[in-house]
Structure 1
């Protein structure tokens, strides 16, 4: 048997942590002296503690580890599935960190060359364009920020089914119209739409007119920079915008091999300010 101090030293886990693990039922001492309360662990429990530490190194929560340990049947199968899921999560984190590292290196390079850290904004293209009237088949609803990934797939699935059922013809790539400037407790007023050639029951006219247009190549995380640049340009050039902007997804994100392949058009409806 090992004292809690010996067990702690071998596994490199503090005695305080071991007491907490016992409290939550993750790993209990093999024996507790009823007279003095001293805790003792068996040699066999060393491997259990190393197993817990290994899962912690993979960013499993204590609750997740406890669930895995308490799985009596098909434990190896459950563990394999949990590890595969965690592998996907870590791969995503690695990609995000790699992107952040590339951006960090670019910022350092710009600063070393005497440029502003915000000099990337100069590469955001802005142009005025007159967008003609179009017919839209759409779904408009309040959407919270965390719901967008799921809503994109769900709403466009419904829209393309309607297009097929009504025998309509898509006229342009899918788009999203944002009808309000800010999130409310109920979400953002959002319209998922597909332009179609035919005017039919369930479609509506959309007349954008004069717009500021930007073409974004790459990740959607750059969209806030585009929004900011468009509004700066409008203010500087004497235009005022409406509360409506919309995005057109030229590239289907589900078919893009990487974010670098994404192409998105951003339109901000404006009009010339009157004196």
Structure 2
């Protein structure tokens, strides 16, 4: 038998941690002296302690570790828990990798290095047929599941009415000023000819011309388009401009091509800052 101090030292944990594990029923001592209250542990409990530390290191909560170590979950359920934990870690790694790229982009701008090519130009008036939906917020994780089906729906509606459209498409996003204020309005549109009018399934309107816009081209997946937007916004700030209107995404190459082949022009209306 080992005293709690010996067991803690050999198991490379603190005495306080062992006491806590005992209190929550995760790892109870093999024996507790009824007079002194001293805890003693059996050598076979090192294996249990090792399993506890392993699953804790994998990111499981102590209540989950208790269920696993005490065989309260089946092998199938344990596999599901491990797969869910892996998906969660992978998602956080992707978010951290994207954040790291944005930090690198910001550092490059502070050093006067631009990682993107930006053009400033006017945008002509554009006649569009559009559909509108609401997403939970900005970011690909919120917008992606909403906007994808919108283009298919719009294409079907235009096809039913015999309308020629595209091939380029346009997306715009506006914050919703009602409810809890977290949602955004998503507009998905195709360019159409001058004789096309509003019909069931879509609204036809004209996007007004823009005197000046800062634009850049994003190549590839929508999962990383936020980083290109970040770089464009940094360029705008660094080069003496300020935002003056709702941005647009102009899809030069999109469906049915795979996303790694997509080409998207980011268009942000701007004006010169007065102090620039």
When normalised by structure 2's length, the TM-score is 0.71
Whether the 8 Å contact between 2:175 and 2:181 is mirrored in structure 1 is: no
Aligned to 1:11: 11
Aligned to 2:79: 80
**Aligned partners of 1:204 and 1:23: how far apart in 2?**
67
**Aligned partners of 1:175 and 1:63: how far apart in 2?**
49
TM-superposed deviation, 1:90: 4.0
Aligned to 1:23: 23
Aligned to 2:156: 164
Whether the 8 Å contact between 1:209 and 1:269 is mirrored in structure 2 is: no
Whether the 8 Å contact between 1:142 and 1:186 is mirrored in structure 2 is: no
Whether the 8 Å contact between 1:248 and 1:266 is mirrored in structure 2 is: yes
Cα-Cα RMSD: 4.1
What do residues 37-61 of structure 1 show as CA deviations (whole Å, max 9, x unaligned)? 2222333321121112112332333
**Aligned partners of 1:67 and 1:173: how far apart in 2?**
54
**Aligned partners of 2:170 and 2:20: how far apart in 1?**
51
Identify if the C-alpha distance between structure 1 residues 83 and 129 changes in structure 2 by more than 3 Å, giving closer, same or farther: same
Aligned to 1:229: 235
SS in 1 for 2:159: coil
Gaps of 5+ in 1: 111-115
Aligned to 2:267: 267
Aligned to 2:48: 48
TM-superposed deviation, 1:270: 4.5
SS in 1 for 2:245: strand
**Aligned partners of 1:27 and 1:194: how far apart in 2?**
60
When normalised by structure 1's length, the TM-score is 0.71
SS in 2 for 1:26: coil
Identify if the C-alpha distance between structure 1 residues 268 and 68 changes in structure 2 by more than 3 Å, giving closer, same or farther: same
Aligned to 2:130: 137
* Residue of structure 2 aligned with 1:216, choices 212, 215, 218: 218
**Aligned partners of 1:106 and 1:156: how far apart in 2?**
28
SS in 1 for 2:40: strand
Whether the 8 Å contact between 1:143 and 1:186 is mirrored in structure 2 is: no
**Aligned partners of 2:127 and 2:13: how far apart in 1?**
65
* Residue of structure 1 aligned with 2:247, choices 245, 248, 256: 245
* Residue of structure 2 aligned with 1:149, choices 141, 162, 169: 141
Specify which structure has the higher proportion of helix.
1
What do residues 196-246 of structure 1 show as CA deviations (whole Å, max 9, x unaligned)? 5454333231414223322134632242221232355463xxxx7433112
- In the alignment of these two chains, the number of paired residues is 258
Q: Does 1:178 align with 2:170?
A: no
Gaps of 5+ in 2: none
Aligned to 1:121: 114
Whether the 8 Å contact between 2:133 and 2:146 is mirrored in structure 1 is: no
**Aligned partners of 1:12 and 1:161: how far apart in 2?**
60
**Aligned partners of 2:190 and 2:23: how far apart in 1?**
59
**Aligned partners of 2:147 and 2:54: how far apart in 1?**
41
**Aligned partners of 1:141 and 1:97: how far apart in 2?**
27
